[in-house]
Amino acid sequence: MKTIKKIVRIFSRIILGLLILIFIGFLILTGSSWKRHFITYPRFEKQRADLWKKYKKPSKVIPLKEYKGILHAHTYWSHDSRGIIEEILPAAKHAKLDFLFFSDHPHGKLDSFPRSYHGIYDGILIEPGTESSDGCMVCPMDSVVLDWSKGQDSIIKEVVDMGGLALYVHTEKPHNWDNPDYHAMEIYNIHTDMLDGEKLAPLIINFTVNGKKFRHWCFRELYDEQTEILANWDSLNKKRKIVGMAAVDAHNNQNIRARYLDDRRVEWVGPNAETISVKKPGIFEKLLFGKPDAAGWVFKFDVDTYFASFNYVNTHIFSDTLTNKALKNHLVNGNAFIAFENLANATGFQFYSTDSDNHISGILGDSVQNSSVSALHAASPFPVEFKLIRDGKVIDKVENVYNYEYNIHSEPGNYRIVASLMLDKKWTTWVQTNPIYVFEETNK
Ligand SMILES: [Zn+2]
Distance 207 CA to ligand 1 centre (A): 22
Q: Are residues 326 and 224 in the same domain?
A: yes
Angle 346-352-355 from CA coordinates, rounded to 5°? 160
The model's pTM is: 0.92
* Rounded mean pLDDT, 253-272: 89
Contact 385, 427 (CB under 8 A): yes
Distance 247 CA to ligand 1 centre (A): 8
- Number of folded domains that form the chain: 3
Distance 239 CA to ligand 1 centre (A): 27
Distance 81 CA to ligand 1 centre (A): 10
Distance 212 CA to ligand 1 centre (A): 25
Distance 249 CA to ligand 1 centre (A): 5
Confidence bin at 28 (pLDDT 50/70/90): confident
> Cα(335)–Cα(316) distance, rounded to whole angstroms?
8
Q: Are residues 362 and 281 in the same domain?
A: no
* 137 pLDDT more than 90: yes
Q: Provide the CB-side half-sphere exposure for 161 (13 A, CA).
A: 8
Distance 192 CA to ligand 1 centre (A): 10
Distances (CA, A) of 49 to 211, 259, 330, 380, 423: 19, 37, 33, 17, 11
Distance 368 CA to ligand 1 centre (A): 34
Distance 134 CA to ligand 1 centre (A): 11
Q: Does residue 169 sit within a domain?
A: yes
Q: Are residues 224 and 130 in the same domain?
A: yes
Distance 278 CA to ligand 1 centre (A): 27
How high is the pLDDT of residue 10?
Answer: 86
How high is the pLDDT of residue 311?
Answer: 95
How high is the pLDDT of residue 191?
Answer: 86
Q: Are residues 289 and 308 in the same domain?
A: no
Q: Are residues 190 and 288 in the same domain?
A: no
Distance 251 CA to ligand 1 centre (A): 8
Q: Are residues 176 and 320 in the same domain?
A: yes
Q: Are residues 210 and 111 in the same domain?
A: yes
Contact 361, 354 (CB under 8 A): yes
Domain that holds residue 70: 63-254+303-343
CATH of residue 395: 2.60.40
Q: Does residue 6 sit within a domain?
A: no
Q: Does residue 197 sit within a domain?
A: yes
Distance 72 CA to ligand 1 centre (A): 6
* Rounded mean pLDDT, 321-335: 98
If one compares 443 and 36, the residue with the highest pLDDT of the two is 36
The DSSP bridge pattern shows strands 314-319 and 266-269 to be unpaired
How high is the pLDDT of residue 444?
Answer: 54
Q: Does residue 332 sit within a domain?
A: yes
Distance 73 CA to ligand 1 centre (A): 6
Q: Does residue 83 sit within a domain?
A: yes
* Rounded mean pLDDT, 350-376: 96
Ligand 1 ion: Cβ-proximal residues, 5 Å cutoff: 131, 249
How high is the pLDDT of residue 24?
Answer: 84
How high is the pLDDT of residue 149?
Answer: 95
pLDDT digits (tens, 9 = 90+) for 213-251: 999 999 888 899 999 999 999 999 999 999 999 998 888
Distance 285 CA to ligand 1 centre (A): 32
> Cα(318)–Cα(351) distance, rounded to whole angstroms?
11
* 443 pLDDT more than 70: no
Q: Are residues 307 and 194 in the same domain?
A: yes
Distance 350 CA to ligand 1 centre (A): 29
Q: Are residues 234 and 331 in the same domain?
A: yes
* 1 pLDDT more than 70: no
Q: Does residue 18 sit within a domain?
A: no
Q: Does residue 132 sit within a domain?
A: yes
Contact 438, 373 (CB under 8 A): yes
Confidence bin at 261 (pLDDT 50/70/90): very high
Confidence bin at 392 (pLDDT 50/70/90): very high
Q: Are residues 197 and 328 in the same domain?
A: yes
* 364 pLDDT more than 90: yes
CATH of residue 165: 3.20.20.140
* Rounded mean pLDDT, 190-206: 83
Domain boundary among 271, 302, 333: 302
Chain-wide mean pLDDT for the chain? 93
Q: Does residue 5 sit within a domain?
A: no
> Cα(356)–Cα(404) distance, rounded to whole angstroms?
17
Q: What share of the chain is helix, strand, coil (3-state, %, to 5)?
A: 30, 35, 35
How high is the pLDDT of residue 64?
Answer: 98
pLDDT digits (tens, 9 = 90+) for 80-108: 888 999 999 999 999 999 999 999 999 88
Q: Are residues 161 and 222 in the same domain?
A: yes
* Rounded mean pLDDT, 63-88: 93
Distance 330 CA to ligand 1 centre (A): 23
Distance 103 CA to ligand 1 centre (A): 6
Confidence bin at 351 (pLDDT 50/70/90): very high
* HEC letters along 206-228: HHHHHHHHHHHHHHHCCCCCCHH
Distance 122 CA to ligand 1 centre (A): 24
Q: Are residues 194 and 334 in the same domain?
A: yes
Domain boundary among 343, 375, 406: 343
> Cα(289)–Cα(260) distance, rounded to whole angstroms?
10
* 400 pLDDT more than 90: yes
* 163 pLDDT more than 70: yes
Confidence bin at 198 (pLDDT 50/70/90): confident
Distance 384 CA to ligand 1 centre (A): 31
If one compares 85 and 30, the residue with the highest pLDDT of the two is 85
